[in-house]
């Protein structure tokens, strides 16, 4: 006999684990000192400063532009919303308060909007500020983008999860895709 189904009570911890990964990715993106922009080690910039010159003698200046402060604020607010959503998701899945799952989804979607705005503003204004050729966006920018993509997927799933309340609580009868009778 071949049985195939989804065990919701065991799989419900995957989403908070993904949110934990998104928190780590966001912290890496915000705290990265090696830069979001890298031009063959002669010019690099992160959310906080930009540096020019050879690796051993660099001239670093803070990014004191309004758009840079806005990017930092949006990324930090997105991270705070993500941390709150992670805590609420763990609490709601531990106590099976499934009414809080849509709140988690809404928090994540708001954080996604804020971080997408920040991730668009930064390269547009950076390239407008200093155009000296082709700039490559490094792994730190990629971690920020990765965290945003994970948050988008988790936000959609958290909004849909309350529809499967019986499956999450273990009260539903297991449905098999294929049975031999």
Per-residue pLDDT of 121-173, as tens digits, reads: 888 887 777 666 666 777 888 899 999 999 999 999 888 877 766 666 666 67
Structure-model confidence comparison of residues 52 and 149, the more confident one: 149
- Give the pLDDT score at 169: 66
């294929």: which residue's tokens? 178
DSSP string, 160-176: HGGGGHHHHHT-SPPPP
Per-residue pLDDT of 67-109, as tens digits, reads: 888 988 999 999 999 999 999 999 988 887 878 889 999 999 9
Which runs of E-coded beta strand occur in 58-109?
Answer: 59-62
Q: Do the beta carbons of residue 23 and residue 86 sit within 8 Å?
A: yes
The span from the CA of 169 to the CA of 174, in Å, is: 12
Burial classification of residue 154, based on how many CB atoms lie within 10 Å of its CB (0-12 exposed, 13-18 middle, 19 or more buried): buried
The span from the CA of 95 to the CA of 91, in Å, is: 6
Provide CB contacts within 8 A for 132, sequence distance 6+: 39, 43
The CA–CA distances, whole Å, from 142 to 58, 151, 166 equal: 24, 14, 38
What's the half-sphere exposure (Cβ side, CA atoms, 13 Å) at 92?
Answer: 23
The span from the CA of 14 to the CA of 19, in Å, is: 9
Where are the domains positioned within the chain? 11-33+60-169
- CATH fold, domain 11-33+60-169, is Butyryl-CoA Dehydrogenase, subunit A; domain 3 (1.20.140)
- Give the pLDDT score at 152: 95
């Amino acid at each position: 006999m071949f049985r195939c189904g989804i065990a919701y009570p065991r799989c419900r911890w995957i989403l908070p684990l993904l949110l934990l990964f998104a928190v780590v990715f966001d912290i890496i993106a915000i705290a990265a000192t090696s830069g979001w922009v890298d031009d063959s080690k002669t010019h690099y910039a992160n959310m906080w400063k930009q540096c020019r010159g050879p690796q051993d003698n660099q001239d670093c200046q803070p990014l004191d532009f309004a758009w840079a402060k806005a990017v930092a604020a949006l990324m930090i607010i997105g991270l705070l919303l993500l941390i709150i959503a992670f805590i609420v998701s763990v609490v709601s899945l531990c106590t099976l308060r499934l009414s809080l799952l849509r709140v988690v989804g809404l928090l994540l979607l708001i954080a996604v909007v804020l971080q997408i705005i920040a991730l668009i503003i930064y390269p547009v204004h950076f390239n407008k500020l200093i155009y000296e050729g082709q700039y490559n966006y490094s792994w730190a920018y990629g971690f920020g983008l990765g965290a945003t993509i994970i948050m988008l997927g988790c936000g959609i799933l958290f909004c849909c999860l309350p529809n499967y309340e019986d499956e999450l609580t273990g009260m539903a009868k297991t449905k098999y895709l294929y049975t031999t009778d």
